[in-house]
Amino acid sequence: MGNDPRWVPPRALVEVTQKAIHGRYLLRPSRDLVEIFNGVLICAANRYPVEVCAFTCLSNHSHMLVIPEDCQALSAFMGYFAGNVAKEIGRLHDWRQKLFGRPYSHVVVSDEVAAQEQRLRYLLSNGCKEGLVKRPEDWPGPSSTEALLTGRTVRGVWFDRSAEYEARRCNRSFGKYEFAEVHDLELTPIPAWAHLSFGERRERVREMVRQITAETREQTEKTGRSTVGVKRILRQDPHDKPAKSKSSPKPIVHAKSPGVRRAMKIEFYLFRSAYREASEALRAGDFSVEFPPGSHRPRLPFVTGMPPPAPG
């Protein structure tokens, strides 16, 4: 059986995860990576109807909390983002293979305040829960932590590679930022916090950061293992990969209460059932079949315009 169809209710909060191929450290933090990652993310958000609430990028994977207009908007947004980041990482680390081994995964988050706060806290804890840094704000890679704590916009750089190519064609020398544009992005509050003032949101994020820092300190004292530290992280070879990668099944939804989780799962199962029935009808030749709202029609097989060769 194929993969489940992508299910994204309109204007829902969605957690998106993307992992580097083989778990390699191709997203290792650096100033260049922060500029590139943020710049592509901002341009993708400006290009498609997707609002960014939070994000973080570790050495071999990234997480985002976004609010897409619908499933199509999320697909276009991630296609643009992943494609352009892959090109830039290939240039940055001399990597000629794929950057992302698999398509992005996404999980819809319920409207519950506790569920949305839990996912935001999870993103903030990345880097600390792995024992890499002591505090969320210490992570040197792309992250929305500083913007959430201070209210500043996220800043990134978009490099016009087409203009650079034309300059090279004309044997013209140019500086690194001559064909670059600086872009800023104002983060959107998670829906559960939309009614709060900036000061109230900032205080809640600060409390989350304080808790994460305290838990990290307790964990290091309990295990006797110190955090990896920023200097060692920055020295990682981007082509390396961990000896063993953790993998766990993706949940169908993120919800806090069992009742809400059950209702959302039922909604998804009904959507999946309708999608599969429509897919079977399409494969049987019914091209007028209606697919459930918010879904992508499956690709049809290629049909040649030439008749098959005569036998013998």
Please choose, from the candidates 102, 101, 120, the residue with its C-alpha nearest in 3D space to the C-alpha of residue 13: 120
Cross-strand bridge partners of residue 143: 56
Measure the CA–CA gap between 80 and 308, rounded to whole angstroms: 38
**2 pLDDT higher than 60:** no
**Helix, strand, coil % in the chain, rounded to nearest 5:** 45, 15, 45
Specify the long-range contacts of residues 178-182, CB closer than 8 Å, at least 24 apart. Answer: 181/157, 182/155, 182/156, 182/157
| Tens-place pLDDT, residues 127-166 | 999 999 999 999 999 999 999 999 999 999 999 999 999 9
| Tens-place pLDDT, residues 172-218 | 999 999 999 999 999 999 999 999 999 999 999 999 999 999 999 99
Measure the CA–CA gap between 155 and 182, rounded to whole angstroms: 7
**312 pLDDT higher than 60:** no
Measure the CA–CA gap between 114 and 190, rounded to whole angstroms: 11
Q: Which domains does the chain have, with CATH numbers?
A: 13-244 (3.30.70.1290)
**311 pLDDT higher than 90:** no
Helix (H, G, I), strand (E, B) or coil at 233: helix
CB atoms within 10 A of CB 147: 20
Measure the CA–CA gap between 233 and 125, rounded to whole angstroms: 16
pLDDT at position 1 is 44
Task: Look up the pTM and report it.
Answer: 0.91
